[in-house]
Chains A and B, each alone.
Chain A
Amino acid sequence: MGIEARNITKTFGTFTALRNVSLSVATGELVALLGPSGSGKTTLLRIIAGLEEPDDGSGAILFHDEDVARTQVGNRKVGFVFQHYALFRHMTVFENVAFGLRVRPKSQRPGRNLIKYKVMRLLKLVQLESMANRYPHQLSGGQRQRVALARALAIEPKVLLLDEPFGALDARVRQELRQWLRRLHDEIHLTSLFVTHDQDEALELADRVAVMNNGQIEQIGTPDDVFHKPATEFVVKFLGQVNFFHARLEGGKVHFSTLAWESPEHAGTPSQPAHVFIRPHELDVNIIRNGHPALQATVKRIHSAGPNVRLDLTAESGERLCAEMTQERYRSLNITSGSTVFVTPRDVKVFADKP
């Protein structure tokens, strides 16, 4: 295991930030900690780095099977990238990247030429060789983030930790930098863990995603797993827009709105209330009843600017729905706002209501 955190608990006064959390990241893997603000993801990252201490006696932290829980932050050899870059504002880009090498004890400090060679190689890696003599305030946000990454890599870290690495950037730069980071990771294969609140970022970038809520990890798995086989209601709700229904489980079927949906995995469960979730793209929209059980609904609004078309609907029974389809499908339906449509789910996620 590249990173292993076992049974970490952390409280700030009366607030519990982490409740007995365990997480492992395989060597060379890129894992995302995804969650809303206040879910404890940044606290977990900072504890792994050594910037915060877990509560007395709680848990263990291992890098490559070596216990580092008692190791000072400066000796853990972690590369840490801060959300707001935290570049040294009075130093040039070159000096920022060289910092970690220059502060080493004399016996381990590389010579002047070696430092120069290493720094320039890193600046080449992050495509900023020409900016070596600039100051941080002369760079764009994306460039600063790349300097921060080069600085973190300069100490040849055992693991790389990134706290909301793209949080302060605008959408376009974010997208570019995301793909660039993935390529970089594939090149250097450093065990990496990054924190984000953006589900697209986590799903696109990570090998595995740990979804956090309320100081706990709700689910950890591949992007496919967490998206298609969510373990909890929270995971469904957090990973993008979803239609929600109050429902009732009875005899292996789930009843919601005017529909009854076969739910074989609940065949044995006694009659009880449940919640049903359906993603907008898993709703089929037709203009005539085609024999399948369907909800009748009225089109309220059409959002057609984008790769897909989104419809805001109001069901006959009063629920608001959102359905998504391709542009071709939308054109073949030939509907306008006010049209009556019939909506059939292709897939639903059912969670029995916790008593």
Chain B
Amino acid sequence: MAGTVAMRRTAARRQPDTSATTEPTWVRTLLIVVSLIFLAIFLLLPLLAVFSQALAKGWEVYAQSLWDADALAAIRLTLLMALIVVPINTVFGVIAAWAIAKFQFVGKSLLITFIDLPYSVSPVIAGLIFVLLFGRQGWMGPWLESHDIRIIFAIPGIVLATLFVTFPFVARELIPLMQAQGTEEEEAACVLGASGLQTFWRVTLPNIKWGLLYGVILCNARTMGEFGAVSVVSGHIRGETNTMPLQIENLYHEYNITAAFAVASLMALLALVTLVFKSFLQWKTSQQLSAEELGYTGD
């Protein structure tokens, strides 16, 4: 008896259509077709255009465009940005999420608001803030100049601007996850004699690793792709302060379309790899979650 009930329930889950929510076939087809066409026009077509333009003059020109000294410098700088910014924001994100999810303190909601700030501020404004702070006419400009320190139109400025724009990604990903997991496992670890650090490495970190990786990947994608804020602070010095997105813009303005699209194709590839990673991580996280849920209802 219990068996038939259970079977009926899974059957019902597989076919959730009840007469109240079922649409006629033509409506369903229409909705699916419309969304597919939309995706094709706005996502697939541009992607194809990037690769076809990049390869329009053949593989040789494509390779040459990428092997160009300035292009290589831009690629190197972009990778350097990722190497600096992503680890810093990962550590910051974990610390902030930990503090918000596991402790009660005054000013907690203020901290959450601040973490969200880069989402709501235009990247161009973010860049301008740093120019106003560290630029030659800025607040700290004279002092920096007298000590021969360059921030704006140099790599430190690009790092700062990118840090600002990308810092919510990891924290935002972790906060809901850590809040949902609560503090019972950490308490259990403490009672069993684990120190704070042991608790973090052995209990907290393994529990958040998929969400953390997901946040890191999003953060990395944005770091490499950031244009607005970096554009304001970098000064577009070819071979020195041009990241890949800036290099693409430069080439495009010089009517060097093939080279522009060649570099763009690299970024598109990066986006595709990120997408695959992202889907994998999402699948992994949901698998972990559903396994736990199944366990809980399995009593």
Contacts and interface: CB of A to CB of B under 8 A. Distances in A.
Interface of A: 49-51, 73-75, 77-80, 82, 84, 86-91, 99-100, 103-104, 136-142, 151-152, 154-155, 169-170, 173
Contacts of B298: 140
B202 A86 contact: no
Given A89-B207, A142-B299, A73 B292 contact: no
B299 A141 contact: yes
Given A99-B192, A100-B192, 11 more contacts: A50-B191, A73-B191, A82-B187, A82-B188, A88-B202, A89-B207, A90-B206, A137-B291, A137-B296, A140-B298, A141-B299
A78 B188 CA distance: 11
B203 A88 contact: yes
A154 B298 CA distance: 27
Contact of A99 (B194, B294, B299): B194
Nearest to A142: B299
Contacts of A77: 193
Nearest to B205: A90
Given A74-B193, A90-B207, A137-B292, A170 B299 contact: yes
Given A74-B195, A86-B184, A89-B292, A99 B189 contact: yes
B198 interface: yes
B235 to A, nearest CB: 47
Contacts of A84: 184
A142 B298 CA distance: 11
B299 A169 contact: yes
A74 B294 CA distance: 32
Q: Which 10 A-B pairs have the closest CB atoms?
A: A137-B295, A100-B192, A141-B299, A86-B184, A103-B194, A86-B188, A74-B193, A90-B206, A80-B191, A137-B292
Looking at A78, A103, A151, which has the most chain B CB atoms within 10 Å of its CB?
Answer: A103
B238 to A, nearest CB: 49
6 contacts: A84-B184, A88-B189, A90-B207, A99-B194, A103-B193, A140-B298
Nearest to A103: B194
B104 to A, nearest CB: 11
A88 B195 CA distance: 16
B193 A86 contact: no
Nearest to B209: A90
Q: Is the interface of B mostly helix, strand, loop or mixed?
A: helix
Contacts, number: 78
A50 B193 CA distance: 12
B133 to A, nearest CB: 41
B202 to A, nearest CB: 7
A74 B192 contact: yes
B188 A80 contact: yes
Contacts of A100: 192-193
A90 B292 CA distance: 10
Given A51-B187, A90-B206, A99-B202, A155 B192 contact: yes
Given A49-B191, A100-B192, A103-B195, A88 B185 contact: yes
Contacts of B184: 82, 84, 86
B80 interface: no
Nearest to A79: B191
A346 B185 CA distance: 51
Contacts of B295: 136-139
B292 A74 contact: no
B33 interface: no
Nearest to A173: B299
Interface in B159-208: 184-185, 187-195, 198, 202-203, 206-207
Looking at A80, A137, A151, A173, which has the most chain B CB atoms within 10 Å of its CB?
Answer: A137
B187 A155 contact: no
A103 B192 contact: yes
A137 B299 contact: no
A139 B202 CA distance: 21
Contact of A74 (B190, B206, B291): B190
Nearest to A49: B191
Contacts of A50: 191
B206 to A, nearest CB: 4
A49 B193 CA distance: 12
